[in-house]
A = this chain, B = another copy of it.
Amino acid sequence: MTVKQLALPDLVAECVRLGIPGVGLWREPVQEYGIEATAALVRDAGLAVTTLCRGGFFTGDGWEAENRAAIDEAAVLGTDTLVLVSGGLTPACPDLPAARARITEAIGALAPYAGEQGVRLAIEPLHPMYASDRCAVSTLDQALEIAEHFPADQVGVTVDTYHLWWDDRAPAAVARAGAAGRIHSFQLADWTTPLPAGVLNGRGQLGTGAIDLPAWAALVEKAGYTGPVEVELFNDALWARDGVEVLEETLEAFLAV
């Protein structure tokens, strides 16, 4: 998503050229290119699919079929992790406790199926500024409380610095998640202000914002995480530029932090 302006074959070729060993994919471009075709593309390039983004949105209608399809797609792509953005308030779930109860219930309905497909569900707490319209799970503690109802090889969490950096309880939650083998994804983005309207597409390039990213990486590593580290920048300014240039710059920023 950081370089969504790149078509999948270009993205894959550039990752290979730059020595980037894996890539997190989003469902929409994968569906456009074709799921089997994408799987063949990355496999032939020797590239790992680190995660598929995203399942979730459990508080609305149709979540079960949609999420089963996402699990199937993850399995075809050969990634072991489906990231979940759980959904906000809806007529069916008009307040946060109702939304969180529905999210727990929905994940319970999906977890065994995901396990059968070799796909782990990674509940992503989103920043509290998204609590009403995108994700009623706002802290790593909340995500863990939901995940802990289920086996760790079926349900865990996504640790994304952009969403969690402000929370003084997050470091303890990272340690707890790591000890339980529940950190299924680790994503980096920096926090920059002012936030743009809608607050979706203002994630900062690594090293340009408020977050101590090396400290977060050390925290997650100390918690026992050995998986891939993704960079996920939703940023209108980056998307408006040449994708290869942004990818190169992002790799440089990644190595620097």
Query: Which A residues are within 8 Å of any B CB, using their own CB?
Result: 89, 95-96, 100, 127-129, 131-133, 138-139, 142, 165-168, 191, 193-199, 209-210, 212
Contacts and interface: CB of A to CB of B under 8 A. Distances in A.
B133 A193 contact: yes
B132 A129 contact: no
Given A195-B199, A197-B195, A142 B129 contact: no
A96 B133 CA distance: 27
Chain A interface main SS type = loop
Contact of A96 (B131, B142, B168, B196): B168
A168 B168 CA distance: 15
Contacts of A212: 95
Nearest to A134: B193
In the complex, the count of this chain's copies comes to 2
B128 A195 contact: no
A82 B129 CA distance: 27
Nearest to A133: B193
A142 B166 CA distance: 11
Given A89-B210, A131-B191, A195-B198, 18 more contacts: A95-B210, A96-B166, A100-B168, A127-B128, A128-B128, A128-B166, A129-B199, A131-B165, A131-B210, A132-B191, A138-B166, A138-B167, A142-B168, A194-B199, A195-B195, A195-B199, A196-B197, A197-B197
B197 A194 contact: yes
Nearest to A192: B132
Contacts of A194: 133, 197-199
Closest 3 CB pairs of A and B: A132-B210, A131-B166, A197-B197
Nearest to A128: B166
Nearest to A164: B128
